[in-house]
Amino acid sequence: MTPRSAANAILLLCTTMFFALSAAGGQEAADSPSGLQAAYQQRVVQRLELPPDELARYAALTRSALTQQGIDLVTSQYVAVIDRSPLVQAIMIYWLPVGAPALLIGASPVSTGRVGQFDHFETPLGAFAHTPSNPDFRAEGTKNEKGFRGYGSKGLRIYDLGWQQALRGWGKGGSSTMRLQMHATDVELAQPQLGSVQSKGCIRIPESLNRLLDHFGLLDADYETTQTQQRPLWILSTDRTPVQGAGRYVVVVDSLRAERPVWSPDPLKPV
């Protein structure tokens, strides 16, 4: 086994152990944002620690993006915020209370669209609703012809944000439609590269974060409403612990960095 393969195997083992050891304490996270902060620290293996000025910066960018699209949050809720800047590549989960400052639940590295290669889009900016109108599905865990599990391990959630206009990153450029999704990725071949642009336009997140979002239903407000009012939804796991104040938006911003911040290290740069 090569050193890289060994490191990836350890990362996968840590992800599994984190969820097994913390399952008993998961209920607290459904009770309060502070409990969810603790669950993030316990369950999510790949994490970023943002300084206070950055916490405020991304909270302001999030509220601005929602306002620009005419979205007025009338209830307090969770929101996922992605900075697509090639020098950041991060996701922040915020609690956005009405009439009070935003609270960061946790942050992790991601991969967004890598331009310059055929069939690769620049991940579009904006606030995207997560709704059953664009039904989620779950990964089959199968490999493609290159041995790559594009959606990650079997059973992981694929958050579908619908058809969106995006800039083509190849040829003459221009824009066309792409299916915007947020999902895990191959834990051995791609997860170690989170924090750098790698995808075809979708948002790749750590497997452990995918499981956290799914278990606590952080972005499932519309799914839970449909589940209650109409019929059971197969996509919602029976052992989930839904949070109070679930959200419905994934917000993509660009901080337009000129250099890489210390808190978001480049995974491709030798240590």
Domain assignments of the chain as residue spans, ordered by start: 3-253
Output the pLDDT for position 271: 73
Burial category of 12 from C-beta neighbours within 10 Å (exposed 0-12, middle 13-18, buried 19 and up): middle
Output the pLDDT for position 22: 45
Q: What is the pLDDT along the chain (271 residues), one digit of tens a residue?
A: 444 444 444 444 444 444 444 444 444 445 799 999 999 999 999 999 999 999 999 999 999 999 999 999 999 999 999 999 999 999 999 999 999 999 999 999 999 999 999 999 999 999 999 999 999 999 999 999 889 999 999 999 999 999 999 999 998 899 999 999 999 999 999 999 999 999 999 999 999 999 999 999 999 999 999 987 767 899 999 999 999 999 999 999 999 999 999 999 999 998 7
In the chain, beta strands by DSSP E: 77-83, 90-96, 103-109, 121-122, 126-129, 137-138, 157-168, 175-183, 203-204, 249-253
Q: Note the pTM of the prediction, 2 decimals.
A: 0.88
In this structure, what DSSP letter does residue 113 have? Answer: B
- What CA–CA distances, in Å, run from 93 to 33, 204, 271? 11, 15, 27
Half-sphere exposure of 101 (CA within 13 A, CB side): 8
Q: What angle do CA 243, 247, 249 make, to 5 degrees?
A: 150
* CA 168 – CA 150 distance, rounded (Å): 20
Output the pLDDT for position 30: 56
Structural tokens at position 216? 């606590």
